[in-house]
Structure 1
Amino acid sequence: MKRTNKLWHNLGLKIMALVFSVLLWMVAVNINDPVERKVFRDVKVETTNTNVLTDENKLYKVLDDTDTVTVTVRASRSVLETINVSDITASADFSELSFTNTVPIRLSVNRYVDKQIESISGSIDSMKLEVEDKKEKQLVIEIVQSGEPAEGYIVGKITTTDGNAMKISGPESVVDTVKKAIVEADVSDLTDNINITEKITLLDAEGKEVTDSSISRSVNTAKVSITILATKEVPVSLSTMGEPASGYVATGEINCAPAVVTIAGRSSVIKDVGGLVIPPEELDITGATADVTKLIDVRGYLPEGVSLSNTGGEEFNGKIAVTVKIEPLVDITRTVDSSRIQVLNVPEGYSVTLTPDSSVTMKLRGLQGNLDQVNTDTLTCTVDVAEWMSDNGLSELSEGSAEAEVDVSLPSGVILTAPVRAALTIEKIAEVTPEE
């Protein structure tokens, strides 16, 4: 009798038993180690091959926060329990940049092969970029003063000591908005020189600060040197040279605006400056027939280490306006009654008198204002007989008539153009004896 192979005996039942065993195992596994999901938030997208843009002198900016992604991993519980956010890789290869400026985001779990991860997905599938040409711009660093020094002091100068220029670079659209670079120098209540380091601020056309982080700077701060000077008010001293034309005279009045100027310098220097002396060569009145006016730049006559400050709270350019008063001489004639003339120092035994009810004539010259001060009723007029005798070589008087010069006391600025003479009557006084 033929024997059958036992392996094939009840083959159908054996296959059913195997399938049932596998199903039973799968059920057991799903019960003990089920497939679940795990979410990993704020996974940073790593970029590669960015030189695709930078080599073409272009810059990019990530839009809509697409440089971070939320990743969902589906795997068995035992696998998920060992995965941390550091095991998740999200990458964007710029060599895959599309014409719409998007780069696909590739996701992976570093520690596991794909078959151990059922699925991995992200909240976004591509990184969105804004691509622009890179631009550079050179800017002069401007210094903006704020505050005021202490009273009696001014700012001499403010300078940057480490260069006055900087370079910025970044996306063309952003760089073009930057119009100036400034550094603020606060001088409030300062009385001495200081050196400070201050932040450089970028401003747009409206004076608003540009803070875009895509801008790169060659420097971020500037070293600033502030010079503070003491101030002092001093008068301007003026004098003239030469003489006006014949018949004219300088009145002595010199008008100057401003007459007082404010100087600035180190305290030890300006404390000895009492005034600003302008040499007479600046005011030559030779041959003048009218007022002489001139603008004089006083900066050339400042002592070393001294400069000019604003005068009277107004900006001062260093030029003063000077006027020297020139007026014509006026000739007038006045008479004085003989009764106003005193006869002095008459020798003993003589009588010297002026003719009663007579007068003498005076020819006067001077400025009209001075001539107006002449009052013949108050003038002091004298004849000194002893002096007259000496001038004429006389040792004694002789009776009769004579003529002598009258001394007249005139106001300042008035002169006689001709001698004033008076007629004298000289008489000898008869001696009286005791018997008489």
Structure 2
Amino acid sequence: MTAGLGTALVACTGSQSAGAADAGYDGPTAPPELKQKLQALADSARVVGCNVAAVDRDRTLFADAWGTARRGKPMTPVSTLNIGSVSKTITATAVLQLVAAGHFTLDTDVNDILANAKLYGPHSVRSPHHPDTPIRIRHLLTHLTPLTSPVGPNAYGYTYRMGAVPDPAEMGRWLHDYLTPPPRGWTYSAEVNFTKGVPGQAHQYSDVAYELAGHVVQAATGKYFADYCRDAILTPAGMTRSDFNRDKLSEDNRAHPHAWFEDGVKKGMWEDFRNLIPHDIPDDFTGPVEYAPYVSSLVADGGLRSNAVDLARWARLWLNEGSSDGQQILPQPVATAALTNQVAPQVLAASESPVSMIAQGYAWMRLAGDADGIWQHAGSEFGTASYVMIDTKRGVGAAVVCNTEVRIDNDPRPKMLQLLLDAAANS
């Protein structure tokens, strides 16, 4: 065992707890019995640190945290972490704001925007298998594009790296290379980067579609995506400890990703990107390992840094039909449409997405088994696992942010969210 790894292990194995007075949150904490149940579920999945929060339409009902955020730092209710695909709900909101403002419509061909882009990126995107069929704005938001995003040692996976935050122009450059045929696009592949599906007629969950949606925002506005979201969504919504740019957030509040290893092999949803771990891992090692606070140039699909307090506040905005404490972030009809199924049942039934959906809104979705009124989005990256759920019938919402990657067959988040929503509804 290396000295660095040994130090990291000591930090990971403690069971520290954060109270209401910890940095940045002074509201009510979870009832002790509820917190005990939540922590037991998280512990069963070997989660190193976690924060949770629940809201109704009017206020944050409670927030809490436990465990270790990173070496030497306890997890607090506002410890920030890259939350993965929950970020798509913010990206969809940015696009919908521009639709509401008249920049384009949901049926606009993306090429009409890209051809007149104010920032660099692909000038045109077409499926090589269906070159005459346009990819429309609504297709990006409802996963009806043929754009693939395989996770692994490939053009998408290698955007993750340790070190400084990438230049904000890098997302547009990456999309240009990925979606533009040769000789200009050096990572373009007709077979790897695109499915055979007809745009608008085949549903497949796509990270790259949301990167393109993020680029549409900056192409139409001339503002880099992270800057637009900060100014038009996060700040007005009161999510002041959330950002797509890691370095805009206090380092004191940052949590680091973690993963569980057994005999030197990572156990989790994603491949073992050992380049993101700043120390050696012995072949016989079993225990938690801390990742570096890595970055990616591709932020629109999963790069938001946030915490349960801010994400629960985000859920409250949707419970209030696009409004946050008097600020109308989205017009009410647009917010209502986002929580309405936008995909034909027969198309959704044939979806190749990894989860069984019964409704697909604009980013938000309903899964098989969801009670009436439930809308949700999960998120995970290397070493993280987050989830936001909204119950529009009972008027409550909840968020869970774990700084540890979980396994698909042992995911505590759905049960944790159900406990949080029930407690909120009974408050």
TM-score range, shorter chain: under 0.3
Structure with the higher strand share, 1 or 2:
1
Is the radius of gyration larger for structure 1 or structure 2? 1
Structure with the higher helix share, 1 or 2:
2
TM-score, scaled to structure 2: 0.16
TM-score, scaled to structure 1: 0.16
RCO higher in structure (CA 8 A, sep ≥6): 2
